[in-house]
Structure 1
Amino acid sequence: MFKNWTLFEKAWLIISTVIILILSILWDDTLLGTISSIAGIICVVLAAKGKIGTYVVGVVQCSTYGYIAYGYGLYGESMLNLLFYLPIQFIGFYLWFKNKKSPDEAAYGEEIYAKRLTTKQWLYTGAGILVAYISYSLFLSRIGANLAGLDGLAVVLSVVAQILMIMRYAEQWILWIIVNVITIALWAIILVQQGGNDWTVFVMWCAFLVNSIYGYINWIKISKAQGAV
Structure 2
Amino acid sequence: MLRDWTFFEKTWLLLFTLVNIYLFFAFEDSLLGLISSLSGMLCVVLVAKGKISNYYFGIIQTSTYAYISFTYSLYGEAMLNGLFYLPVQFIGIYMWSKNRAQHSVKGEDVAVKRLTKKGWIYLVIASIIGIVLYAELLHYIGGQAVRLDSAAVVLSIFAQILMLKRYAEQWALWIAVNVLSISLWVVTLITQGGNDMNMVVMWSAFLINSIYGYYNWTKLSKAQGAYQA
TM-score above 0.5: yes
Equivalent residue, structure 1, for 2:10: 10
**Any unmatched runs of 5+ in structure 1?**
none
| Residues 65-109 of structure 1: per-residue CA shift (max 9 Å, x gap) | 00000000100000000000000000011001111235xx21112
Equivalent residue, structure 2, for 1:93: 93
- Please, what TM-score do these two structures have when normalized by structure 2? 0.97
Q: Per-residue deviation at 1:134?
A: 1.1
The 2-side partners of 1:43 and 1:14 are apart by 14
Equivalent residue, structure 2, for 1:161: 159
Aligned residues: 227
The 2-side partners of 1:212 and 1:133 are apart by 21
Equivalent residue, structure 2, for 1:124: 122
Equivalent residue, structure 1, for 2:139: 141
Q: Per-residue deviation at 1:20?
A: 1.1
The structure 1 segments of at least 4 consecutive aligned residues displaced by more than 6 Å after TM superposition are none
Which residue identity is paired with 2:173?
Answer: L
Equivalent residue, structure 2, for 1:80: 80
Q: Per-residue deviation at 1:176?
A: 0.3
Which residue identity is paired with 1:201?
Answer: M
The 2-side partners of 1:21 and 1:52 are apart by 26
Aligned residues of 1:3 and 1:109 also touching (Cα < 8 A) = no
Aligned residues of 1:100 and 1:113 also touching (Cα < 8 A) = yes
Which residue identity is paired with 2:190?
Answer: V
Counterparts of residues 144-223 of structure 1 (less than 5 Å)? 144-223=142-221
Equivalent residue, structure 2, for 1:19: 19
Q: Per-residue deviation at 1:3?
A: 3.2
Q: Per-residue deviation at 1:2?
A: 2.5
Which residue identity is paired with 2:64?
Answer: T
Counterparts of residues 44-63 of structure 1 (less than 5 Å)? 44-63=44-63
Aligned residues of 1:41 and 1:208 also touching (Cα < 8 A) = yes
The 1-side partners of 2:192 and 2:129 are apart by 31
Equivalent residue, structure 2, for 1:224: 222
The 2-side partners of 1:41 and 1:127 are apart by 30
The 1-side partners of 2:200 and 2:6 are apart by 27
- Please, what TM-score do these two structures have when normalized by structure 1? 0.97
| Residues 119-139 of structure 1: per-residue CA shift (max 9 Å, x gap) | 111111111111111111110
The DSSP-based 3-state class of the residue aligned with 1:108 is coil
The 2-side partners of 1:30 and 1:16 are apart by 17
Equivalent residue, structure 2, for 1:69: 69
Which residue identity is paired with 1:75?
Answer: Y
Which residue identity is paired with 2:147?
Answer: G
| Residues 13-57 of structure 1: per-residue CA shift (max 9 Å, x gap) | 222122111211111011111100111111111111111011000
The DSSP-based 3-state class of the residue aligned with 2:110 is coil
CA RMSD of aligned residues (A): 1.0
Aligned residues of 1:164 and 1:171 also touching (Cα < 8 A) = yes
The DSSP-based 3-state class of the residue aligned with 1:114 is coil
The 2-side partners of 1:156 and 1:124 are apart by 14
- Percent identical residues: 54
**Any unmatched runs of 5+ in structure 2?**
none
Aligned residues of 1:30 and 1:197 also touching (Cα < 8 A) = yes
